[in-house]
């Protein structure tokens, strides 16, 4: 059995992660799920509750949503997530970290994994989206 930290910040990412998490749970791996971002927002219907309803235990909640979705707030929120994830990794000592895609959650998790010498598994590393900040973030996550 392995202990796997999974970071998710928005329902659309969780929807993609759900089948992976289900199979990992069936194989008796211990999941350390960290929710942040839109999952914890009233405006986005507190979608972390769906994760619980699906039978998964949430290890930590990291509040990263600031007043707006502007670039400066997303950058500050990423910093908050790095701090929260660092504490969770230190406390839970997972075997590896699992991330999806190209959002703040994936780059923050990859940075923490890199500095804390944890393997980072990246789902969706080769999916290009041209013309915005997501591509460089996705490439950086795959590198880390």
pTM here? 0.86
Q: Could you tell me the residue range of the domain that residue 109 belongs to?
A: 3-143
59-73: pLDDT as tens digits: 999 988 765 667 888
Task: Express each pLDDT in 77-113 by its tens digit.
Answer: 899 999 999 999 999 999 999 999 877 888 999 999 9
The DSSP 8-state label assigned to residue 130 in this structure reads T
Residue 133: predicted pLDDT: 62
11-25, 70-84, 118-132: which has the highest mean pLDDT?
11-25
Go through 39-60 and write b for each residue having 16 or more CB atoms within 10 A of its CB, e for each that does not: bbbeeeeebbeebeeeebebbb
CATH number of 43's domain: 3.40.50.2000
Number of domains in the chain: 1
pLDDT at 73: 84
**125 pLDDT more than 80:** no
Distance CA 54, CA 134 (A): 29
Mean pLDDT (whole number) for 29-42: 91
């Amino acid at each position: 059995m392995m202990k796997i930290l999974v970071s998710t910040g928005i329902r659309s990412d969780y929807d993609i992660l759900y089948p992976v998490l289900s199979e990992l749970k069936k194989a008796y791996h211990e999941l350390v799920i960290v929710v942040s971002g839109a999952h914890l927002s009233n405006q986005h219907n507190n979608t972390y509750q769906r994760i619980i309803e699906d039978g998964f235990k949430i290890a930590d909640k990291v509040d990263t949503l600031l007043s707006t979705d502007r670039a400066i707030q997303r950058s500050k929120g990423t910093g908050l997530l790095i701090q929260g994830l660092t504490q969770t990794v230190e406390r839970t000592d997972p075997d590896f970290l699992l991330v999806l895609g190209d959002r703040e959650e994936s780059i923050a998790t990859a940075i923490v994994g890199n500095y804390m010498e944890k393997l980072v598994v990246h789902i969706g590393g080769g999916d290009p989206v041209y013309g915005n900040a997501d591509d460089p973030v996705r490439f950086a996550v795959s590198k880390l």
